[in-house]
Structure 1
Amino acid sequence: MSPLASFIRRFFQFCCSLAVTRTIAMMGTATEFYRSQIGGTSVINYCYTDMPWRLLVKDISYFFVYAWALPWVLMPLRPYGSDELDELYPNWRNLFCILVHFVLVILQLAFLLVLPVAIFFPIWTVAGGVSAFMLVNWALCKLLNGTEVTFRSDEKYAKELPEHANEQWVFLNGVAVGEHWMKNNLNRLALTFGRPVLGIHNRTSGILFDVLECLIQRNFTYATGDVRLCFRILREVLYDPSKSKVIFILHSQGGIEGGLVLDWLLQETPQDLLAKLEVYTFGNAANHFNNPHRHAISQSLSQSDPQAAMNTLVRESSFATPTSSPVETGDGSRTHEPPPPLSQESSMTSWRTFSAAKDRAIGHVEHYAHTTDFVALWGVLHFATNKMGSPQLPRFLGRLFNRSTCAGGHQFNQHYLDGMFPLRRDPATGKFIGADDDNPFMEEIIKVGEEGAAMDNTREAFDISYAGTHGFGSGEITTPVEVYDVTSKKTTRRDVQVKELSRLWRYRNGRSPPRPLAEGGVMRTATT
């Protein structure tokens, strides 16, 4: 089907959906859960390793395929679940930001329309006009961006507590975010999870120019200044011996930039340091997300025998990788025994033990998306859920929560956090006091996302997803939990809620997920 025909079909479906919005709201929402891709197989017939110009053409064509969802970049305009922290809340600071962006859109659109006819004018005239426009554009963006490149959440929303001294929370923002909205994003995160948050500012150049930058970044793998700054800061934190956990939260274009940062980290950072890292994305605009298995046998077991993958223990030294084969243990499970020490030095090696089912380079990856969010459709939902086309292409890794709701927009605070991590108020003062445990999204019953027969055996087992949230060996439920799977028509044993699979939910209000199984070395978290 051509992109134009697909767009017409999608637009027709969108128009029809408007007639039943009230019915959907009355019936509630639904969340599809896509288990993490295992790796080694593909999703569609092209990927980020293709030729840049081919990727650009594909991106432009799919822009029109998903264009029916463009209104949901801003919709719904209400309610304002976080009051003045929401992007579209009608206070003076927000209205000023919206006005400047409106002026920028008009000027940039006019500039892009006039630019093709510049070939008919003398070069000095064109150079002067472009320079004058860029100066005006920079000045307007300066009003939004301010002067800082890193920010921290305000202490009144979350203070540094001793029990969180080993953690570092980092946020990388998306398109069109200036200083004011960046601070609001950080404060909303701090209020929700009870930790201070460091923000690395992806500065805005205006909405249209930001979108062009997205195309360049994800198709030409071009690292802009904020990507390079983010890489340096994350690398320093990972090497900090006082930090055993790094939480990296990404939104929108931040998913593209964060994915590039992860690519660099995977290339040159020791993997026991990468085990500290947990990544959570919202409305991810990236076209790939890497998190490879650390051993081929772990990938093979996760695909062919999930229970064996959960029961097989991998033991490794920080100096050398053992090469022995799996051996049978007394209870029927298998474990990797380390080779005997070769010297006095190697006998002092620190060994770490973890399940083969979580044998990933990066500790944990989770994605959150709305079915009506244009950016998510153009990014994570397109690349993580499409049918495979070739067995040689890279994957979009990490578990995915895809929520169907008539309130599913793209704004970080107003749509994603308000909808998925709503706040509660103090009954006496009316002030926000943290995340609300009475959370409709987390109470939703999940269904395993439909991927088609071509995706069989390319995703982790549901058992691994479920046990991974609980830490593997934490003392909580580790037995298989069956749910209805639309691909296999499996019978439901019991319903499973979003909160049972969302690791990020377990950080709310200063809490922490259970500690995973580990022996020595760096603590490994679930990698499903």
Structure 2
Amino acid sequence: MPQPPPAAQPAPPPGHGSDTRFFGSQIGGRSVINYGYTDMPWKLMAWDVYYFFRFFWAIPYIVWPLTPTDSGDLSELAPTWGNAWALFIHLLLGIVQVAGLVLLPALVVLPVWTAGLALGGFFLVNRVLYSLLNGEGVEYHSDPKYAPALPEHAHEQWIFINGVAAGSHWMQGNLNRLAVTFKRPILGIHNKTAGILFDVVECLIQRNWGYATKDVRVCYQIMKQTLYNPQYSKVVFILHSQGGIEGSLIIDWLLQELPQDLLAKLEVYTFGNAANHFNNPHRHIRTQHLAKHNPLAACIDSTRLAHHHRESSRVPRLRQPTRPGSSSSSSSSDDQPPLKTTTTTTNPRRTPANNKIIPSLPLDLSTSTTSPHPSSLSDRAIGHIEHYAHTTDFVALWGVLHFATSSPSSQFIPRFIGRVFARTSPRGGHQMVQHYLDGMFPLRRDRGTGGLLMVQVNKDGGEREWVPWGVEEDGNEFMESEVLVGGGGDGTGRDGDGEVESDSEDEEVEVHDSSPVMSRTGRGSIKGKSKKREQGVKVKVKVKELSRLWQYRNGKSPEETPPLLVRGPDGVVRNATM
């Protein structure tokens, strides 16, 4: 059995400083983990059990820290009656399920009919308890008072799948907090809970056997209908925890069936992702080759780096292969516009694979007035994928941080595609609202009192109610943090691998090639053999300049017009068709 990466160390006490690391998406080269979701289920299960105990130290961070509850009643652990009821039922479920597992071996000495009655009674009690947490339906909607439907967002559909242990109360709170954050109505597909212990078992079955539960199948139908609907030019898919496993299964099905131009509508954003794979292939081998030889251009994708342009005279380049002595232009594909070509070869470079010269094509992202569609530069089937994770979140360590940042092994094992923002923070828990959204997308607070900034809205019947205003756009510690992006040519196989910014301007930039987000100081970095990056361009950027999801805050949108759509005089994209 291959040797696993080094174990993570216990986290330092709360109050430790925050930092952020950025990992560009795996490209499809040789940077992979030593096993993948296409292996035999028994092998995947064995590895999952092993890493469950390997990362066991992070279990408390699923709910830690318990405070602050910055989103008020929307936070999962805020002192409200709804939260108290959910926690009480989960406590009862935990007691019943643990007791059932402990007593299970005793059933073998009982008569068959007695053992059958005991098992039936156990499952009946368990079902009654978790039914108190779950609602009747699968589809949920954010409360319109938090984000009414606006005409400028009529061409968008936002869909969310929740994570482990979320009943209808926490599901509704997640939807409302997302609506406040992005000022758009959110459709939720409820991943119902059966208690924490049974939910974990379901996670193992889903990600190792590829089993699709009812909510996965319902969400797939909705996703497919939405992508085919000409009203929508953009479908934003948000996933949390176990929702990442379910989303990865849905994406697999969509990639198998949907046309490429419909998939280009899709954008995916995950938090504390528990999946063991995430697929998003390049459309052409040519662009996969280009990404491997210019990770910075592949990494920045459609994000404009005006900050970098002001500080550096070097412009990121997107390389396009050509035969020596010929023009660097190439024929365009049927499903995307041709890249702007040039007959001037700047900084030619010979690839080690074929010893051919690859000229550079200018890609000045700081001077463009609009960003291209995400898939037009990355040439990926799905427009954009981003993963947000805390380095002390057990679920993230067991999922995205393990599979997306692991050391090279075999070129035949599947990849975990998508950019990764790995944050070390005193608020490094797993809850969607209280830890991720409150830490990465904090709500605006009153400058004088420090309380939430609220606005009045009309409820049904003409009553007035106070609701949170929206996201604080200034002073966001996570979005203002700086990371180093770029490099390449070092075998990492990522679209612009990155590392947290150091305090010293002259400190040498290093890449750590070993294991998933293990700590230099015991928390949140990468421990392992390091080496200098001697090739490629490295730029210093803020997280907010890389995060596409940040561009949607408070009802805003990235500056782009999706392909084949017309933007009206009022700025609204209409007559959407793909």
TM-score under structure 2 normalisation?
0.75
Pair 1:155–1:328, CA change in 2 (3 A) = closer
* Structure-to-structure mapping, 1:451-490, within 5 angstroms: 456-461=491-496, 484-486=509-511, 487-489=531-533
Shift of 1:460: 1.3
In structure 2, the partner of 1:435 is 471
In structure 2, the partner of 1:213 is 202
Amino acid at match of 1:116: P
Amino acid at match of 1:78: T
Question: In 1, distance between residues paired with 2:318 and 2:6?
Answer: 43
Question: In 1, distance between residues paired with 2:253 and 2:157?
Answer: 19
Cα deviations by residue, 1:272-324 (Å, 9 ceiling, x for unpaired): 10000000000000000000001111101111245344797874436xx99xx
- Verify: 1:14 aligned to 2:3, yes or no: no
- Verify: 1:419 aligned to 2:439, yes or no: yes
| Residues matched between the structures, number | 472
- Verify: 1:84 aligned to 2:73, yes or no: yes
Question: In 1, distance between residues paired with 2:120 and 2:552?
Answer: 48
Runs of 5+ unmatched residues, structure 2: 298-316, 321-327, 346-358, 362-371, 455-467, 499-507, 512-530, 568-572, 574-578
In structure 1, the partner of 2:278 is 289
In structure 2, the partner of 1:388 is 408
Cα deviations by residue, 1:226-278 (Å, 9 ceiling, x for unpaired): 11011001000000000000000000000000000000000011111000000
SS of residue paired to 1:496: strand
Amino acid at match of 2:477: P
Q: Is the 2:485–2:539 contact (alpha carbons within 8 Å) kept by the matching residues of 1?
A: no
* Structure-to-structure mapping, 1:110-125, within 5 angstroms: 110-125=99-114
- Verify: 1:366 aligned to 2:386, yes or no: yes
Q: Is the 2:485–2:496 contact (alpha carbons within 8 Å) kept by the matching residues of 1?
A: no
Amino acid at match of 1:79: P
Cα deviations by residue, 1:47-92 (Å, 9 ceiling, x for unpaired): 0000000100000001010001001000000001101100000111
- Verify: 1:506 aligned to 2:515, yes or no: no
In structure 2, the partner of 1:403 is 423
Q: Is the 1:33–1:449 contact (alpha carbons within 8 Å) kept by the matching residues of 2?
A: no
Cα deviations by residue, 1:456-506 (Å, 9 ceiling, x for unpaired): 25111379xxxxxxxxxxxxxxxxxxx945353469976311101000000
- Verify: 1:58 aligned to 2:47, yes or no: yes
In structure 1, the partner of 2:483 is 446
Pair 1:427–1:280, CA change in 2 (3 A) = same
Pair 1:460–1:2, CA change in 2 (3 A) = closer
Amino acid at match of 1:509: N
2:24 pairs, out of 31, 35, 39, with 35
1:301 pairs, out of 266, 290, 306, with 290
Amino acid at match of 2:269: Y
SS of residue paired to 2:415: coil
In structure 2, the partner of 1:272 is 261
2:151 pairs, out of 150, 162, 172, with 162
Q: Is the 2:279–2:417 contact (alpha carbons within 8 Å) kept by the matching residues of 1?
A: yes
Amino acid at match of 1:265: L
Q: Percent of aligned pairs with the same residue?
A: 53
Question: In 1, distance between residues paired with 2:563 and 2:2?
Answer: 51
Shift of 1:40: 3.8
In structure 1, the partner of 2:187 is 198
Q: Is the 1:284–1:375 contact (alpha carbons within 8 Å) kept by the matching residues of 2?
A: yes
- Compare the two structures and name the one with the higher helix fraction: 1
In structure 2, the partner of 1:229 is 218
Aligned CA RMSD, in angstroms, stands at 3.3
TM-score under structure 1 normalisation?
0.82
Shift of 1:148: 1.8
In structure 1, the partner of 2:313 is none
Shift of 1:355: 7.6
Pair 1:329–1:517, CA change in 2 (3 A) = farther
SS of residue paired to 1:396: coil
Pair 1:354–1:67, CA change in 2 (3 A) = closer
Greater CA deviation, 107-116 or 257-266?
Answer: 107-116
Shift of 1:216: 0.3
